[in-house]
């Protein structure tokens, strides 16, 4: 069974631009969560999508948004990029239908904002 | 609010030596606990998890962890470390959000260095 895939793996953008990252979950998984990893703040939860609806949200500004498609693939968008948005963005998938579930992570997209 | 503390930022052990990485959590409900490992430039790989039942859980690559409710701890252990175990290790607690435990709160990680 294929794992979680993320595209692109690397991105370089400039301040003020916007970026879209993509995540394809493990087949059969309907929940996709996004996390930001930085040296200063560590791993922080951004949001979670289930059945095309945002179900949980972390403490990030509105510049960070996402969506999920009917095939459970998810995209994350960051508008008006700031230098501090440079990070490794990880997505994770799970079935999303029970409390005792494991999240499986993709390899991440490394975003550099110049 | 929930939190996870990994008190050791960096640990160095010799190959073949035993290893224990510490993790303490703070969470008001029954915790779902995880250990993940991350190699440089990679995503997170699940080592093991605790949901309920036996408090000593076995994982991949010879790792085990013990849940101690009285100490709010979930320490990771390995009896004999291999050079390939060098990586960063994250402890996490699964938080019940809307629907399911779909939000992980992570510790700051412990970087393991293995000397030959």
- pLDDT interval class at B103 (50, 70, 90): confident
Per-state percent for chain A, helix, strand, coil, to nearest 5: 5, 55, 45
| Average pLDDT over every residue of B88-108 | 83
Decide if B104 contacts B95 (C-beta within 8 A): yes
A31 in B contact zone (CB under 8 Å): yes
Nearest of B48, B77, B87, B40 to residue A102 by alpha carbon: B48
On the question of a cis peptide bond just before residue A8, with omega within 30 degrees of 0, the verdict is yes
d(CA A15, CA B12): 39
3-state secondary structure (DSSP) of residue B62? helix
List of chain B residues whose C-beta atoms are within 8 Å of the C-beta of residue A110: 41
Other CB atoms within a 10 A radius of the CB of residue A65 amount to 16
What integer pLDDT is reported at residue B51 of this predicted model?
87
For chain B, report the end-to-end CA distance as a whole number of angstroms.
Answer: 41
Q: What sign does the CA torsion over B61, A96, A36, B2 have?
A: negative
Strand A42-50 relative to strand B103-106, pairing: unpaired
User: What letter does residue A26 receive in the DSSP assignment?
Assistant: P
pLDDT digits (tens, 9 = 90+) for A76-85: 999 999 999 9
Comparison of pLDDT for A1 and B48, the residue scoring more: B48
Res. B98: pLDDT tops 90: no
The DSSP bridge partners found for residue B58 are: B64
Reported as a pLDDT band with limits 50, 70 and 90, residue B100 is low
Question: What does the alpha-carbon distance between residue A82 and residue A3 come to, in Å, rounded to a whole number?
Answer: 31
B2 pLDDT band, cuts 50/70/90, is: confident
* Distance (Å) from the alpha carbon of A33 to chain B's nearest alpha carbon: 7
**How near does any CA of chain B get to the CA of A30, in Å?**
11
- Report pLDDT for B99: 60
Q: Which helix (H) or strand (E) holds B38?
A: strand B32-38
CB atoms closer than 10 angstroms to residue A26: 18
- Selecting from A99, A104, A105 the residue whose C-beta is nearest the C-beta of B101 gives A99
- Show Cβ contacts of residue A61 under 8 Å, excluding neighbours closer than 6 positions: none
Instruction: Tell me the chain B residues in contact with residue A106 when contact means C-beta distances shorter than 8 Å.
Output: 43
pLDDT digits (tens, 9 = 90+) for A2-55: 899 999 999 999 999 999 999 999 999 999 999 999 999 999 999 999 999 998
Band of pLDDT at residue B101, cut at 50, 70 and 90: low
pLDDT in tens, B41-70: 889 999 999 988 889 999 999 999 999 999
Counted residue by residue, chain B has a size of: 116
């Amino acid at each position: 069974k294929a794992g979680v895939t993320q595209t692109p793996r690397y991105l370089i953008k400039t301040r003020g631009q916007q970026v879209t990252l993509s995540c394809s979950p493990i087949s059969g998984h309907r929940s996709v969560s996004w996390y930001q990893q930085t040296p200063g703040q560590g791993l922080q939860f951004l949001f979670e999508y289930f059945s095309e609806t945002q179900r949980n949200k972390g403490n990030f500004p509105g510049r960070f948004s996402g969506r999920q498609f009917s095939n459970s693939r998810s995209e994350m968008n960051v508008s008006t990029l700031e230098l501090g948005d440079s990070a490794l963005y990880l997505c994770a998938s799970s079935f999303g239908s029970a409390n005792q579930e494991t999240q499986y992570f993709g390899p991440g997209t490394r975003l550099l904002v110049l | 609010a929930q939190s996870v503390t990994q008190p050791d930022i960096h640990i160095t052990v010799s190959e073949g030596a035993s290893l224990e990485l510490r993790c303490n959590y703070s969470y008001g409900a029954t915790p779902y606990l995880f250990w993940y490992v991350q190699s440089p430039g990679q995503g997170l790989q699940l080592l093991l998890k605790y949901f309920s039942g036996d408090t000593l859980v076995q994982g991949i690559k010879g790792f085990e962890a013990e849940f101690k409710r009285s100490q709010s701890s979930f320490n990771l252990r390995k009896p004999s470390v291999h050079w390939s175990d060098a990586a960063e290790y994250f402890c996490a607690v699964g938080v019940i959000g809307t629907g399911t435990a779909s939000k992980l709160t992570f510790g700051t990680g412990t970087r393991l260095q293995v000397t030959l």
